[in-house]
Amino acid sequence: MRKAERATYIDRRLEELYPETPIPLDHTNAYTLLVAVLLSAQCTDARVNLQTPALFKKADSAEKMLRLTVEEIDAIVRPCGLAPRKAQAIRGLSEILIEQHGGEVPADFDALEALPGVGHKTASVVMSQGFGVAAFPVDTHIHRLAQRWKLTDGSSVVKTETDLKKLFPRDRWNKLHLQIIFYGREFCSARGCDGTVCEICRTCFPRRKTPVETRKS
């Protein structure tokens, strides 16, 4: 298959496998989504979902979060890893949201990326999952699978995002990025598939015999 043919097949097959794409991180509004995504850095969504109920019970808005100290936030989110830094970022971004955005999460990439602890991927997740704006957040699963499927050379996460946006229709980005994540977790994980095992890898590259080495994000 040529790259365009692979993209068409992958798009169709993932839609068949995952017609519904529930957002993995539990949240009730754009603010709690932002905090949950920040906490998910180098941590599983499942672990984040175990810790956020206690945090959001105390503070589900920027205003309420500022009533907590960094130490109090740290104590709750510690199991998510990198807790001191994440706790400081959560309190810091909450302060900026109050001072500059009326306590609301802005639906703007530049404004989001200006917040402490919020990089391009986090901003993209919030824009796509929180506001429905077309984006293609690239996590470790997407970066790995895009290389295994030869949709990008994987030289950087930025390059992977750019290549995927060119290959797939804009109106598919938000749903497709979740579908690729779901597939990566279920069938094409880092250890469970080496580029020769899962259905999509075997269908796209039936003659492939050797494992595919991928660059990490």
Q: Give tens-digit pLDDT for 65-82.
A: 999 999 999 999 999 999
Residue 35: per-residue pLDDT: 98
From the list 45, 121, 163, 171, the catalytic residue is: 121
Question: Does this chain's domain 3-20+137-204 share its CATH topology with 30-131?
Answer: no
Q: Which two tokens stand for residue 169?
A: 């229709």
Residue 217: per-residue pLDDT: 76
Alpha helices in 78-137 (DSSP H): 83-101, 109-113, 120-125, 131
From the list 108, 139, 150, 171, the catalytic residue is: 139
Concerning whether 121 is annotated as a catalytic residue, the answer is yes
Q: Residues 13-57: pLDDT tens digits?
A: 999 999 999 999 999 999 999 999 999 999 999 999 999 999 999
Distance separating alpha carbons of residues 30 and 112, to the nearest angstrom? 12
Q: Residues 93-140: pLDDT tens digits?
A: 999 999 999 999 999 999 999 999 999 999 999 999 999 999 999 999
Classify residue 39 as left (phi > 0), alpha (psi -120 to 50) or beta: alpha
Architecture of the structural domain at 30-131: Orthogonal Bundle (1.10)
- 3-class state of residue 116 by DSSP: coil
Residues contacting residue 201 through CB under 8 Å, at least 6 positions apart: 148, 149, 188, 193, 195, 208
pTM greater than the 0.85 cutoff: yes
Distance separating alpha carbons of residues 45 and 47, to the nearest angstrom? 5
Q: Where are the domains of the chain?
A: 3-20+137-204, 30-131
> Does the 3-20+137-204 domain belong in CATH 1.10.1670.10?
yes
216: confidence class by pLDDT, cuts 50, 70, 90: confident
Share the mean pLDDT of the chain: 97
Q: Residues 163-172: pLDDT tens digits?
A: 999 999 999 9
Concerning whether 139 is annotated as a catalytic residue, the answer is yes
Q: Residues 148-193: pLDDT tens digits?
A: 999 999 999 999 999 999 999 999 999 999 999 999 999 999 999 9
